[in-house]
Amino acid sequence: MQLQDLLLSLSVAISTAHAWSPTDSYAPGEITCDADVNLVRNATDLSSDEQEWLKKRDTITESAMKTFLTRATANFSDTSFLDSLFENSSYVPRVGIAASGGGYRAMLSGAGMLAAFDNRTRGANENGLGGLLQATTYLSGLSGGNWMTGTLAWNNWTSVQEIIDSFSDSNTSSIWDITNSIVTPGGNNSTFTSERFASIISDIDDKQEAGFDITLVDVWGRMLSYYFFPSLPNGGAAYTWSTLRDADVFMNAEMPFPISVADGQYPGTSVDSLNSTVFEFNPFEMGSWDPTLNAFTDVKYLGTNVTNGSPIESGKCIAGFDNVGFIIGTSSDILNDITSSYEAVLTYLETEFLSDSTATSDEYTLGIYSPNPFKGTTNIDSNYSTSIVDSDSLYLADGGEDGEVVPFIPLIKKEREIDVVFAFDNDDGSDDWPSGSNLISTYERQFSSQGKSIAFPYVPDLATFSDLGLNERPTFFGCDASNLTDLAYVPPLIVYIPNAQYSYPSNTSTYTLSYSMEERLEMIQNGYEAATRNNLTEDSGFLGCVGCAVIRRKQESLNITLPSECEQCFANYCWNGTLTDVSSVSSSNSSYSNSTTTLSSGAAESTTASSNASNSSSTSSSSAASSSSAAKANAAASVETGKLFSLLTAFGVLFSLM
């Protein structure tokens, strides 16, 4: 055997053993791939990998759904509808869950909400919605919500209960130990902080030396990873997104299909829900269904220099670019937002970090995916901009940059055939409580040219959300398919679950970067209570009503008689089309028309709400305190690491200003 062959077989063996980055570091590395491989496909349908996976998942969710619905409707006078529903496996309702952004607030509150659906949570089968997560097919997350979903999925589908059980004052290696802020990971121990930072900088250096562009998002992702993957060497520096394909729990479809959302955003531009290109990352692919891309690429080979999907150098691909922290960091890239609000930080970055560079600060605050995996692809619909495929680099930002802070887009795609989407809204509207603005953003998008292939139920304007308290308790949208026939197709029913105060004031600032163990537990418990109407004490029938929402679309399309209990549930929980602010409406029945008067007033208010929130002075004292020790740690090691350290200082400055 030639030495070369021996090495090759060795490296194959290693990569199948744990399929991480081929360099076993943060740097991507070269691997061989088929000479005729094409990494890009037209976004006409679900990938064949996803379709194969769904077959396995459907079998599992079918029996879990039967268990859940049987429990949820145990009090119903007539449960014969269950027989009709389980007569044929294609009748079984398909469920998606979408977890919004909102920093650690969204991660923790969202974790509590998800725990309420998980039969592995103590109590969830008695006072919660336990078992519904086991019957769920898709789980999307964005920004802080994606910190939650990504942590669970890429830790072998651990549970919130298991994470909580590992919390302790002394255990500093537990998942989500965010007692110390990311800018002072060592707390008072500045040696620890400088070692951590030095390690991050060396990772970033590795990637740069391997010939790849880096930005602040690489640093951000590395910093965050230690809190999500504490059990992995070096905070998961070599851990890749596509590794999930080799995890038993995913291969056997024993968990939902995780999706992370980010927005395409070029330096110097801004996006809103009407013109953004929404990207999804799933375990097989990344790309966009939107007409301005209409393509997906194999996520495992990001970083490969391609034209129209074919590697420029035949047989040579890159792997290891799809670092888990980098993708999670991209989805939560709020840096761009922060810096544009704070001139001082902008100036600081420019003078300290970018002084000898021609790049604008904007270019350093977006995630860079270069070489562009979609360079030269030809799937874009005619009459749409080709700017994404023409560019040498693809830039991605926080999935909430376009106002769609609940990651609905992947779940409302017709091809995914989802019947009900549970929307966890931990976004910040007024006083850091949700306003409903993100539902309005996605609703409006369907009437733009970018949204031509999506449908979303009618929702009211912001004033109605607040007047009727729809943003304070669970509310169902799109209860009657017969009212949605004007839309591109009948969208899923939306069960909206907003963050609200039960046992804890969970409207903490998005920029609070540290929580004590007690605070974490309280945030999680409050989220659980918000999702269960206070552990079913506010309405003992709520579990049954969730069952009604789950079966609704299939009950309608199969002409199954609606259980009488569901009629009462829908009267209680469905938004029935009422608007309270009649002056903003152009005609009396416009709640069901495409009236742009109502809609644009909603959008304008939502912009105001979010800019108020980001200017709010709710600073966590811990994050302010952190930055001075970060600066100290910086000074200690700045000699060797130079410029990259000033970058970390910039983070400290950035967050102390929040």
Ligand X SMILES: *[C@@H]1O[C@H](CO)[C@@H](O)[C@H](O)[C@H]1NC(C)=O
Cα–Cα distance measured from residue 594 to residue 479, given in angstroms and rounded to the nearest whole number: 18
User: Judged by CB under 6 A, does residue 84 bind ligand X?
Assistant: no
| Max CA pair span of the chain | 82
Cα–Cα distance measured from residue 167 to residue 158, given in angstroms and rounded to the nearest whole number: 14
- Minimal distance, residue 564 CB to ligand X, in Å: 14
DSSP H helices, 185-287, are 190-209, 216-228, 248-251
User: Footprint of ligand X on residues 411-450 (CB under 6 A)?
Assistant: 447
**Total interface residues for ligand X by CB under 6 A:** 61
Cα–Cα distance measured from residue 113 to residue 115, given in angstroms and rounded to the nearest whole number: 5
**Contact string 283-322 vs ligand X (x = CB under 6 A):** ----------------------x------x----------
Say if CB 67 and CB 33 are below 8 A apart. Answer: no
According to CB under 6 A, which one of 11, 172, 174, 189 is a site residue for ligand X? 189
According to CB under 6 A, which one of 78, 415, 431, 486 is a site residue for ligand X? 486
- Minimal distance, residue 609 CB to ligand X, in Å: 17
Strand partners, 286: 281, 297
Cα–Cα distance measured from residue 324 to residue 319, given in angstroms and rounded to the nearest whole number: 13
Cα–Cα distance measured from residue 498 to residue 649, given in angstroms and rounded to the nearest whole number: 35
User: Judged by CB under 6 A, does residue 131 bind ligand X?
Assistant: yes
According to CB under 6 A, which one of 62, 86, 123, 267 is a site residue for ligand X? 123
- Minimal distance, residue 49 CB to ligand X, in Å: 18
Neighbours of 386 (CB within 10 A): 14
User: Footprint of ligand X on residues 29-48 (CB under 6 A)?
Assistant: 42, 44
User: Judged by CB under 6 A, does residue 67 bind ligand X?
Assistant: yes
- Minimal distance, residue 348 CB to ligand X, in Å: 26
Rounded to 5 degrees, what angle do the CA atoms 456, 116, 149 make? 65
Measured from the CB atom, is 631 or 654 closer to ligand X? Answer: 631
User: Footprint of ligand X on residues 150-179 (CB under 6 A)?
Assistant: 155-156
Cα–Cα distance measured from residue 84 to residue 310, given in angstroms and rounded to the nearest whole number: 49
User: In the block, which residue shows the tokens 């600081």?
Assistant: 348
User: Judged by CB under 6 A, does residue 243 bind ligand X?
Assistant: no
According to CB under 6 A, which one of 490, 543, 579, 609 is a site residue for ligand X? 543
Q: How many residues are recorded in the chain?
A: 658
Measured from the CB atom, is 329 or 653 closer to ligand X? Answer: 329
- φ, ψ of residue 31 to 5 degrees: the values are -135, 165
What is the DSSP code string of 415-478?
GG--SEEEEEE----GGGS--SHHHHHHHHHTTSGGGTT--------HHHHHHTTTTTS-EEE-
Within 8 A by CB and 6+ apart from 554, the residues are 85, 91, 92, 93, 419, 560
Query: In whole angstroms, how far apart are CA 372 and each of 149, 285, 297, 357, 399?
Result: 26, 14, 11, 21, 19
Q: Of 479, 478, 429, give the one whose Cα is nearest residue 456.
A: 478
User: Judged by CB under 6 A, does residue 561 bind ligand X?
Assistant: no
Q: Which amino acid, 250?
A: F
User: Footprint of ligand X on residues 487-526 (CB under 6 A)?
Assistant: 503, 525
- Minimal distance, residue 167 CB to ligand X, in Å: 13
User: Judged by CB under 6 A, does residue 558 bind ligand X?
Assistant: yes
User: Judged by CB under 6 A, does residue 604 bind ligand X?
Assistant: no
According to CB under 6 A, which one of 559, 588, 617, 621 is a site residue for ligand X? 559
Ramachandran region, residue 420 (left: φ > 0; alpha: ψ -120 to 50; beta: rest): beta
Measured from the CB atom, is 217 or 650 closer to ligand X? Answer: 217
User: Judged by CB under 6 A, does residue 337 bind ligand X?
Assistant: no
Span interacting with ligand X, options 98-106, 118-126, 615-623, 648-656, rule CB under 6 A: 118-126
Measured from the CB atom, is 257 or 348 closer to ligand X? Answer: 257
User: Judged by CB under 6 A, does residue 366 bind ligand X?
Assistant: no
Measured from the CB atom, is 186 or 329 closer to ligand X? Answer: 186
- Minimal distance, residue 165 CB to ligand X, in Å: 12
User: Judged by CB under 6 A, does residue 611 bind ligand X?
Assistant: no
User: Judged by CB under 6 A, does residue 567 bind ligand X?
Assistant: no
Measured from the CB atom, is 504 or 511 closer to ligand X? Answer: 504
User: Judged by CB under 6 A, does residue 576 bind ligand X?
Assistant: yes
Within 8 A by CB and 6+ apart from 175, the residues are 151, 155, 158, 163, 166, 227, 228, 229, 230, 231
Measured from the CB atom, is 258 or 371 closer to ligand X? Answer: 371
Q: How many helices (H) and strands (E) does the chain have?
A: 25, 16
Span interacting with ligand X, options 64-72, 139-147, 343-351, 357-365, rule CB under 6 A: 64-72
Q: Residue of minimal CB distance from ligand X?
A: 123
The packing angle between helices 437-445 and 596-615, to 10°, is 140
User: Judged by CB under 6 A, does residue 252 bind ligand X?
Assistant: no
- Minimal distance, residue 291 CB to ligand X, in Å: 10
Measured from the CB atom, is 300 or 554 closer to ligand X? Answer: 554
Measured from the CB atom, is 355 or 415 closer to ligand X? Answer: 415
Query: Could you say which DSSP state residue 240 is in?
Result: B
Distance of CA 388 to the CA centre of its chain: 22
Please give the residue ranges that form the binding site for ligand X (CB under 6 A). Answer: 42, 44, 63-64, 67, 72, 74-75, 119-120, 122-123, 125, 127, 131, 134, 155-156, 186, 189, 191-192, 195, 229, 231-232, 247, 269-272, 275, 305, 312, 371, 378-379, 447, 468, 479-480, 483, 486, 503, 525, 528-529, 535-536, 540-541, 543-544, 558-559, 574, 576-578, 593-594
